[in-house]
Amino acid sequence: MVQERKIPAHRVVLAAASHFFNLMFTTNMLESKSFEVELKDAEPDIIEQLVEFAYTARISVNSNNVQSLLDAANQYQIEPVKKMCVDFLKEQVDASNCLGISVLAECLDCPELKATADDFIHQHFTEVYKTDEFLQLDVKRVTHLLNQDTLTVRAEDQVYDAAVRWLKYDEPNRQPFMVDILAKVRFPLISKNFLSKTVQAEPLIQDNPECLKMVISGMRYHLLSPEDREELVEGTRPRRKKHDYRIALFGGSQPQSCRYFNPKDYSWTDIRCPFEKRRDAACVFWDNVVYILGGSQLFPIKRMDCYNVVKDSWYSKLGPPTPRDSLAACAAEGKIYTSGGSEVGNSALYLFECYDTRTESWHTKPSMLTQRCSHGMVEANGLIYVCGGSLGNNVSGRVLNSCEVYDPATETWTELCPMIEARKNHGLVFVKDKIFAVGGQNGLGGLDNVEYYDIKLNEWKMVSPMPWKGVTVKCAAVGSIVYVLAGFQGVGEDMGHECLLTVRRAFSGSGTYCMNLTLGDNTSLALTSTLVSIPARGKFCFTV
């Protein structure tokens, strides 16, 4: 009985599905002998769904019922439903809801969900602190958040701005917490100019002697010598830096075959390249160097071109022992792995080779289980995953959905669950413990669908599709943002155009597309180039 609604069910079924009901019906509780059990503070519709799940093992989780389902599943200890709700919410995390999801996860003892939400909060703090959720946080949570070393910010100015915004949202009631809140701002890390012109002029600061002392302390820090600064620890620990990323294209058939894209202002600039253009090459990054290998220009190119992104310099090294195009490559632990590909006019290869960047030598490794070209390959958690492709570059080359994984420690290949859709020339990218296969071709035409591989469960699942069918796709991931470059299959005036899309939350169920940029009229660039994402300074993260 739930709010005067009778919901029939068998004790044995409920006991099998729920630890809560198992204890209720198998102990000396009064309910164990009663023909009717009343559940207080419960929603009838939610309980009906849980009862149906107990019988069918099926339940529909959506944005309208997920919070109520999670609350009920947690209360009645129905772990499979709780996990489904947690998985759903993990995919929905964004700047507008991450704080609320973190609080919910803490209340309902969902550590995995809380970790996901907190990680998003820290990585996207500059977006999160401008939301209504942040302004409505209690003082304890704000103090804890502003104290985190892992907040990703361009400068400490943004942490100061977050603190002031929160205080001013309800200034009369938050005045007593001003010192505690601003004490979490690392004033020595704020620029001298910002301290003197903005912070010192803030009325909140001027009217509070304790806060004014913090600002003066920060200004004094800038007067110290570098040696004296190193002796200071309090208030000078750096936060995680937020870099400006650029997307780089290498190869293709356009006159400007190497270019940077700046997501900040949507601009393109050329990269100087002294070598001839390549089609259907692969590239990887390791230790500040982009390695461009394979590909062809009438004939397969034997050498490996190297671009040092720090020095902005080019040089060449010995390429793969077997020159070929339509191969795949990735880097792991100082080694560059290449797989498959096709020699001119021939079938796909089983070949798997490794280049050691330390010894500058190539080695042949155990062959793949399946020959393939135009496939995808990524490194994830120390293992090398290979997915899709085709048996050859000619029309008769069958498109594959098979997948396999290579363990460098044991030098062995293992077959994995196949993709739902056979595809070649697709994007393959590793984000948040999932491997996403994006677009490509299935032998009949371009694909708009996107699926991901759950490494833990060894299974593929479909998610929201792209707006168009990408006949050839390149992907790069930076944090939880995925950049997609593709030659798209359209109709009429849209036939064969190129677009760069930014897809947030790694193709989450909502399918939110944040950018749609047309690059040009000729699909040859997207069809034959490789894609790279590069921070403006420092560490690099990219995939082909």
Beta strands 259-262 and 245-251 are antiparallel
- Where exactly does CATH 1.25.40.420 map onto the chain? 126-240
Alpha carbons 142 and 134: distance in angstroms, whole number: 8
Which one has a higher pLDDT value, 543 or 432?
A: 432
Q: What is the pLDDT of residues 7-40, one digit of tens each?
A: 777 877 777 878 777 777 777 776 666 677 777 7
Q: What is the pLDDT of residues 300-327, one digit of tens each?
A: 888 999 988 767 788 999 999 999 999 9
In this prediction, residue 76 carries a pLDDT of 81
> Does the structure show a pLDDT above 80 at 542?
no
Q: How far is CA 382 from CA 293, 379, 451, in A?
A: 22, 6, 22
Confirm if 434 and 453 have CB atoms less than 8 A apart: yes
> Beta-carbon neighbour count of residue 226 at 10 Å?
6
Question: Under CATH, what is the fold of the domain 126-240?
Answer: 1.25.40
Q: What are 363's strand-pairing partners?
A: 354
- Residue that is written with structure tokens 């630890």 in the block: 19
- Where exactly does CATH 3.30.710.10 map onto the chain? 11-92
**Quick one: pLDDT band at residue 512, thresholds 50, 70, 90?**
very low
- What element of type H or E holds 234? none
> Beta-carbon neighbour count of residue 353 at 10 Å?
20
- Where exactly does CATH 2.120.10.80 map onto the chain? 243-535
Reported as half-sphere exposure (CB side, CA atoms, 13 A), residue 379 has a value of 18
Q: Provide mean pLDDT across the span 494-521.
A: 37
Confirm if 164 and 204 have CB atoms less than 8 A apart: yes
Tokens of 153: 């910010």
Confirm if 339 and 330 have CB atoms less than 8 A apart: no
Confirm if 18 and 77 have CB atoms less than 8 A apart: yes
Beta strands 245-251 and 529-535 are antiparallel
In this prediction, residue 226 carries a pLDDT of 67
Task: Spell out the CATH class of 11-92.
Answer: alpha beta
Q: What is the pLDDT of residues 192-251, one digit of tens each?
A: 889 988 998 899 888 899 999 999 888 888 888 766 665 555 556 777 666 555 666 666
> Does the structure show a pLDDT above 70 at 452?
yes
**Quick one: pLDDT band at residue 286, thresholds 50, 70, 90?**
confident
Tokens of 156: 């400490």
In this prediction, residue 397 carries a pLDDT of 82
Task: Spell out the CATH class of 243-535.
Answer: mainly beta
- Among residues 87, 89, 39, 80, the alpha carbon closest in space to that of 59 is found at 80
Q: How far is CA 467 from CA 25, 49, 412, 477, 484, in A?
A: 52, 33, 38, 19, 12
In this prediction, residue 130 carries a pLDDT of 95
In this prediction, residue 504 carries a pLDDT of 37
The pTM assigned to this predicted structure is 0.58
Degrees to nearest 5, angle at CA 93 with 88 and 95: 165
